[in-house]
């Protein structure tokens, strides 16, 4: 009887031991499952669609800006939809509305007109689409960040160099860009503030040529007819100054006039090297495009973006 009880207790103990081992094994398996489920599953990075509304792609400066933006977009894996307004503010407003209707994630705007573009920016604000401005600022609406060179400083830089090249005296002309654009206003203000510090220099003409080479030529041709003495010319961009140089050559007066432009486009740099152009203020449009796309992507990812992103200037001389 004692032996039989002993065997029965042994069997019960063995069964209990086996049950314990099984329980521990199942617990161990359960732990592995919990650990695996706590490990995040890798996901593809979020893709964004950005809109880029450019004033005109007829100007090489803005072509470079677009190219810089496209290069950055390709590198970051985002889609970039480019709209060319051809310097028509109403067309640009329509294009921005198209980008809003397409529900892009952010819009980068190079305004044709800083005042007139405000309703379009406000429409994007109402649709909760963040807006960034590039090269030219806007007069209103909510802007996350403005990416540009210091156009006022560039105007001062041009005035200083022109005045020094003239020995502090002479008669000069200013060719003005599109009225209402921040670039024209800031460059003109910087130029006139600095040139006004030279008592021997007189601004004899200040005419609008709308950032256009053909207009720069025709406007300056008319100025040449009105003024027998012109010693220097500053234009708010290179397109206008290159047109002015053409007019001066046709009038046989190019050799006696010093010309300074703004933007350092390829034709202007070549003109500096040949001696036709005294200097041009160099911006970095491709860098503006790159910074604009990077700022938009950073903002969409929840990162903090400065309200202003400055791009360095330099004076290109021979």
Per-residue pLDDT tens digits of the chain, which is 318 residues long: 444 444 444 444 444 444 444 444 434 444 444 333 334 333 344 689 999 999 999 999 999 999 999 999 999 999 999 999 999 999 999 999 999 999 999 999 999 999 999 999 999 999 999 999 999 999 999 999 999 999 999 999 999 999 999 999 999 999 999 998 999 999 999 999 999 999 999 999 999 999 999 999 999 999 999 999 999 999 999 999 999 999 999 999 999 999 999 999 999 999 999 999 999 999 999 999 999 999 999 999 999 999 999 999 999 999
User: pTM (2 decimals)?
Assistant: 0.75
CA separation for the pair 254, 304 (Å, rounded)? 50
> Both tokens of residue 256?
């006696």
Domains, in order of start, for the chain: 49-149+285-311 (3.40.50.2300), 151-282 (3.40.50.2300)
122 Cβ contact list (under 8 Å, min separation 6): 140, 141, 142
Count H helices and E strands in the chain, helices first. 10, 12
CB atoms within 10 A of CB 224: 20
């Amino acid at each position: 009887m004692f032996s039989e009880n002993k065997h029965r207790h042994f069997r019960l103990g063995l069964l209990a031991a086996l049950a314990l081992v099984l329980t521990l094994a199942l617990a161990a398996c359960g732990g592995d499952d919990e650990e695996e489920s706590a490990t995040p599953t890798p996901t593809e990075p979020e893709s964004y669609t950005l809109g880029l509304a450019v004033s005109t792609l007829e100007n090489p400066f803005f072509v470079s800006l677009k190219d810089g933006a496209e290069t950055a977009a390709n590198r970051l894996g985002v889609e970039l939809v480019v709209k060319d307004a051809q310097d028509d503010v109403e067309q640009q407003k329509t294009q921005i509305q198209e980008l809003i209707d397409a529900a892009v994630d952010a819009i980068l705007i190079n305004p044709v007109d800083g005042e007139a573009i405000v309703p379009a920016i406000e429409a994007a604000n109402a649709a909760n689409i963040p807006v960034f401005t590039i090269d030219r600022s806007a007069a209103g609406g909510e802007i996350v960040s403005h990416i540009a060179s210091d156009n006022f400083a560039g105007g001062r830089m041009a005035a200083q160099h022109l005045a020094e090249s003239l020995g502090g005296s002479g008669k000069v002309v200013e060719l003005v860009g599109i009225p209402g654009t921040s670039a024209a206003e800031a460059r003109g203000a910087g130029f006139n503030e600095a040139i006004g510090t030279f008592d021997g220099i007189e601004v004899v003409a200040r005419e609008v040529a709308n950032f256009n080479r053909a207009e720069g030529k025709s406007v300056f041709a008319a100025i040449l007819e009105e003024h027998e003495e012109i010693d220097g010319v500053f234009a708010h961009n290179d397109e206008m100054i290159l047109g002015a140089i053409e007019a001066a050559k046709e009038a046989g007066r190019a050799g006696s006039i010093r010309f300074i432009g703004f933007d350092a486009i390829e034709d202007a740099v070549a003109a500096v090297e040949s001696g036709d152009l005294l200097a041009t203020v160099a911006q970095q449009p491709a860098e503006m495009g790159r910074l604009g796309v990077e700022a938009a992507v950073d903002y969409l990812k929840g990162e903090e973006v400065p309200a202003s992103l400055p791009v360095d200037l330099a004076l290109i001389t021979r």
